[in-house]
Chains A and B, each alone.
Chain A
Amino acid sequence: MASFRAQQSVNQRKTWMLLGSMFSLVAFVVYAVGLYFGQVGFSIVPIAVVIALVSVWGSYWASDKIVLTMTGAKVITEEDHPQLYNLVQEIVIASGLPMPKVAIVSDAAPNAFATGRNPEHGVIAFTTGLLEKMDREQIQGVVAHELAHVANRDTLVSAVAATTAGALALMSDLLIRMMWFGGNRQRNSGSNPLALVAALVALILAPIAATLLRSAISRRREALADATAIAYTRNPAGLRRALETLAEDSTVVNQKSTAVAHVWIESPLDARSTAKLFATHPPIEERIALLRKMENGQL
């Protein structure tokens, strides 16, 4: 049953490897830019990084308020839903985290999310559909998954990933424009057309690669949250049955805003329209199979 610890460390390690790849990608682009554009190219780098930082970290800092507004979640007190409050308190004790704000989204589709820049500002929310369709053990599994996101500081991880991907996208955008206007020619008269094409291809591909890495990180964090949830409840069956209910249910949360898609326990975007490589969540069947293995002690 200690398999969840192994799962946790694997997912933590892979997150670091993916973040490392993202930073290497940035370093590579910066290097290529310097090689090709010289001093002018380098001046782009701080501009892109600052813009990315400003645009991402504002929403990171206020993530609890922004996500609550965008999803229409209402923060509740103990009297509004004593059982849900009890369930959250149980996992708070199991995890040693501070008590988060608990919110309910009025929506028939079963789903849940967690946000907040740190555990002290943690918010976890559940749709009314989830609370109606699931029993106590299932909701406990979902609560544990959401609090695992809080404990693992996934809002921070996704903010770092978004900043890196954003800076890269900005950099290549600005540089492609510069190439378009031939800003390099005076400085670099000896450059051959082949290098120009190579630079252009690299600049187009780098942001796509960054987006792929960002999705891969998100999937890792979901798998990590599943493993951490089991570390809290020591009961894979609860979360497994909860995911089965989510998989069977065809209703989808009544908002298709991709901006907050990554925060939900089950992706609100239609799985078929999203290519697997760009998916923010691992396929739900895989998550169920992994939890079932933990249940049977096969891991």
Chain B
Amino acid sequence: MSTSTVIAIVIAVVILGWLIAQYNKLLRMNVAVDEGFAQIEVQLQRRADLIPNLVETVKGYAAHEKEALENVVQARARATAAQGVQDVSAADGMLTQALRGLLAVSEAYPDLKASANFAQLQEELAATENKVSFARQFYNDTVRILNQTVVTIPGTFFKGIAKVGEREFYEIEDPQNRQVPKVNF
């Protein structure tokens, strides 16, 4: 083999290696986004699992706070049924609001606040709430990195072959803003 063939082969191998690396990078980023979303769902599930216990505890001390309790139960039902980034995030936002409402109401019951069970539940809820929001933040970071790569060179050349595109951010909106405005004729 002549020197020039060797050089040509080396260059071809280097270019091929680079192409494969770029392709794999996009796929890996895409998987990271999927993992990030799965983590959000795991944490949302944990939170949903805590709620029946919380509702029972609050009922024991403040049974007549029907509205706040109902809100939480309903929001939980919606959240466990939700599918896809937009639906899950909307239901997540509603449940967060409902829980906040219930905890605010609980402030008025010293016996409830003093119970060991409630204190433990509060720590679990605070931790789960944080875990949910950190999972969101991590997911959004992976989406941000993927989206940046996909719209810039060289990532943008590979998105077609890798079948990887921009992904949706996980945004929790205020449930009030999502309601269709009422129009009276």
Chain A residues in contact with chain B, CB under 8 A? 82-83, 86-87, 89-91, 93-96, 136, 140, 232, 234
Contact = CB atoms under 8 A, between A and B. Distances in A.
B123 A86 contact: yes
A82 B176 CA distance: 35
20 contacts: A86-B123, A86-B124, A86-B127, A87-B127, A89-B127, A89-B131, A90-B130, A90-B131, A93-B43, A93-B134, A93-B135, A93-B138, A94-B134, A94-B137, A94-B138, A95-B138, A96-B138, A136-B126, A140-B130, A232-B134
A89 B39 CA distance: 12
A139 to B, nearest CB: 12
Contacts of B137: 94, 234
A13 B60 CA distance: 58
Interface of B: 39, 43, 123-124, 126-127, 130-131, 134-135, 137-138
A159 B127 CA distance: 35
Most buried by B among A83, A90, A234: A90
A91 B131 CA distance: 8
A89 B135 CA distance: 11
A90 B137 CA distance: 11
A148 B39 CA distance: 20
Nearest first, the 5 A-B pairs at minimum CB distance are A94-B134, A86-B127, A93-B134, A90-B130, A93-B135
Contact of A93 (B39, B123, B124, B126): B39
B148 to A, nearest CB: 13
Contacts of A234: 137
Contacts of B126: 136
A204 to B, nearest CB: 47
Contacts of B123: 82-83, 86
Contacts of A90: 127, 130-131, 134
Nearest to A83: B123
Nearest to B123: A83
